[in-house]
């Protein structure tokens, strides 16, 4: 956990509920100037590395799967505004989403860790999709969202509209800042934490964001990503080993 942030349990308040707003987004002047400077400056400095990597991933997705390289999905961002979030496509074209929606609703209304639906394998995922998703590289196109002012490098994850509908009014305080590529929750346990713990971290970040805190979160992101890739590799190896053992026994 980053020392700059302290998780404080909050009681529900009477903040009025509101529906996500659909509107064209430009960068919100209500965000601190240092945040915009960090976002743009980081991207410009990292561009020589980002562009070849993004091109390689785009070619990989095109080769292993039919359909568009990019996946566009409406998400809810700052103050409940909707925007089109970009990702590299990691699932087969036309994959059903009802199962994922139900999985998220169960997590929101339970104390279970926020384990991804594909943690035990998912037939919908394209070849190499597991590695792209576990490393977070499928989210590289969201740097375009950052440049457009719809997201920031650091912030709560952008949620989907059907998720937003299940949030209690006080939980929507997490939308008082721009959503991010990485964030306090993402580097503080992520899939080992519950939905309630994620909300507490997101609200805490939205209320206490600082330049020093953002830099600390960014510096922690790469080790966390590598750990997630290692964990995904171990799980896949275990599934393959178990499958081979069952085949031999049969």
Query: pLDDT tens digits for 152-166?
Result: 999 999 999 888 988
pTM of the complete model: 0.81
* CA–CA distance, 225 with 132 (Å, rounded to integer): 11
Residue 78 makes CB contacts below 8 A (sequence gap 6+) with 25, 28, 31, 175, 176, 177, 178, 179
Locate the domains of the chain by residue range.
21-241
Lowest mean pLDDT among 38-52, 183-197, 210-224: 183-197
Residue 85 makes CB contacts below 8 A (sequence gap 6+) with 72, 73, 74, 75, 142, 145, 150, 151, 158
* CA–CA distance, 183 with 221 (Å, rounded to integer): 8
Q: List pLDDT tens digits, range 125-153.
A: 999 998 899 889 999 999 999 999 999 99
Residue 61 makes CB contacts below 8 A (sequence gap 6+) with 69, 88, 89, 90, 126
- Enter the tokens of residue 116: 């991804």
């Amino acid at each position: 956990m980053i020392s700059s942030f302290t998780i404080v349990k909050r009681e529900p308040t009477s903040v009025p509920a509101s529906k996500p707003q659909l509107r064209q987004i430009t960068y919100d002047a209500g965000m601190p100037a240092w945040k915009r400077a960090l976002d743009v400056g980081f991207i410009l400095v990292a561009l020589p590395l980002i562009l070849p990597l993004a091109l390689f991933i785009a070619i990989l997705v095109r080769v292993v799967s039919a359909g568009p390289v990019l996946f566009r999905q409406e998400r809810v961002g700052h103050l409940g505004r909707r925007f089109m979030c970009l990702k590299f496509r990691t699932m087969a074209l036309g994959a059903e989403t009802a199962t994922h929606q139900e999985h998220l609703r169960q997590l929101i209304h339970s104390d279970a860790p926020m384990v991804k639906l594909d943690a035990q394998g998912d037939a919908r995922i394209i070849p190499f999709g597991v590695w792209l998703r576990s490393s977070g590289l499928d989210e590289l196109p969201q740097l375009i969202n950052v440049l457009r002012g719809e997201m920031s490098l650091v912030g709560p994850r952008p949620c989907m509209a059907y998720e937003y509908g299940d949030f209690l009014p006080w939980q929507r305080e997490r939308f008082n800042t721009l959503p991010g590529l990485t964030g306090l929750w993402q580097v503080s346990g992520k899939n080992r934490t519950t939905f309630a713990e994620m909300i507490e971290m997101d609200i805490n970040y939205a209320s206490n964001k600082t330049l020093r805190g953002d830099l600390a979160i960014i510096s922690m992101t790469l080790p966390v990503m590598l750990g997630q890739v290692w964990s995904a590799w171990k799980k896949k190896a275990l599934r393959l080993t178990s499958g081979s053992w069952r085949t031999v026994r049969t």
